[in-house]
Structure 1
Amino acid sequence: MGDDKVRCPWALQDPLYIQYHDQEWGTPERDELKVFQHLCLEVFQFGLSWLLILKRRPFLMRALLDFEPMRLAEMDEEGVMAALQMPMMIRSPAKVLGVVNNARALLRMWDRGLSLSDQVWSAVGGVPIVSRRSIREPLPPSTEESRALSRRLKSLGFVFTGPVVCYSLMQAVGAVDDHGVECFRHSFNRNGGVGHGA
């Protein structure tokens, strides 16, 4: 690493983890398309390691049209089969179909004047939940907020959006800051803390 920064222990396993931890995880992201991209990655992560997803991210995006919802929503059976054959692709037809389904659900939301980003951020009242945990304390697999988000997304037609996936999404886009309080990336160490506690 070449520095003396304190990081969450899970990030120390691999350079890709360190990069993701330092630059993305827990950073507030409200851009609609980027939130959808994170959701696509969480769909693929279900049942697999996040490190595998980080290693395969460029290949997943290449196979699935950069996770652009309008293009994904038009993907037919032939397109799904072609995507599954792409190099380094995670060959799960169910997950590819899930991502396609979610793109279509997103377009239906847009037709109703709704936003995926708004759904995620409204689950925390629009302000990040800032963890008060030590880096030594385990993180919960889900929370009341992620369970509420899961119910909402499922009602809107999304799949692979159980409470655990939704919590991972909330962490990824910074709706929840689950960095340990000692970590240099924790909100209070970055910017004096903006959010409400957990």
Structure 2
Amino acid sequence: MKIIDEKNRCGWCNSSALYQNYHDEEWGKPVYDDATLFEFLLLETFQAGLSWITILNKRENFYNAFDAFDYKKIAQYSDDKIQNLLQDAGIIRNKLKVYSAVTNAQNFIKIQEEFGSFSQYIWAFVNHTPIDNYPKTLKDVPATSPISDAISKDLKKRGFKFVGSTVIYAHMQATGMVNDHVENCWTRN
């Protein structure tokens, strides 16, 4: 894909138009919808150990393979469906990650039942208000935070998989719980 334009953006997204679109349209914008929060959670867990652009390039395949990220359907996946996913070259065919998608969907629903919504649960960790770190450069953007540590610990206690602090911090960035757009990024204007 051709790069969109020459706007000042966070340096991590300048290698492709797909990255730039994601940065401009989604990254760092607050998300309160449970379906979208689950989509990013699923994608972030598959990203663990890989680059985000790898996941973005396969996002549509994930959408199709995982029933439009419908966590209610995913929570009910049969072994046959899981085996089909493990044969799908369009996604990341990591057995543990595929199984974790089902487990995480089941636990996502349990959190909804306990808190009314996953959004209520996760946003409570930041008092329902995005944190703006105002980083000057990419070097000032952390990989984790005490809050991502706490969320990770709580999710693991609830049975979630592939939700280490780095994955959770990336989820917080993707869903706007934390704003890490650098100082000269056009999105700050």
> What range is the shorter-chain TM-score in?
over 0.9
- Corresponding residue number in structure 1 for 2:67: 65
User: How far does the alpha carbon of each residue in 1:112-160 deviate from its partner, in whole angstroms, 9 at most, with x for none?
Assistant: 2442222321111111111221135342110011011111212222111
Determine which structure has the larger helix proportion and give its number.
2
**How many Å separate the matches in 2 of 1:113 and 1:125?**
14
- Corresponding residue number in structure 2 for 1:169: 171
What secondary structure sits across from 2:101 in the alignment?
Answer: helix
The answer to whether the 8 Å contact 1:38/1:172 transfers is yes
**How many Å separate the matches in 1 of 2:138 and 2:102?**
38
113-122 vs 88-97, which moves further: 113-122
Q: CA RMSD in A?
A: 1.4
- Corresponding residue number in structure 2 for 1:102: 104
- Corresponding residue number in structure 2 for 1:41: 43
**How many Å separate the matches in 2 of 1:132 and 1:89?**
34
What secondary structure sits across from 2:110 in the alignment?
Answer: helix
**How many Å separate the matches in 2 of 1:136 and 1:63?**
34
The answer to whether the 8 Å contact 2:111/2:121 transfers is no
Letter in 2 for 1:73: A
Structure 2 residue runs of 5 or longer lacking an equivalent are none
Pair 1:27-2:29 in alignment:
yes
Moved over 6 A (4+): none
The answer to whether the 8 Å contact 2:18/2:56 transfers is yes
Identity of aligned residues (%): 36
- Corresponding residue number in structure 1 for 2:79: 77
TM-score normalized with structure 2 length: 0.93
Aligned residues: 187
The answer to whether the 8 Å contact 1:135/1:183 transfers is no
- Corresponding residue number in structure 1 for 2:151: 149
User: How far does the alpha carbon of each residue in 1:74-113 deviate from its partner, in whole angstroms, 9 at most, with x for none?
Assistant: 1011110111222412111111111110100012222324
**How many Å separate the matches in 2 of 1:61 and 1:5?**
30
What secondary structure sits across from 1:86 in the alignment?
Answer: coil
User: How far did 1:44 drift?
Assistant: 0.6
**How many Å separate the matches in 1 of 2:99 and 2:176?**
27
Letter in 1 for 2:93: R
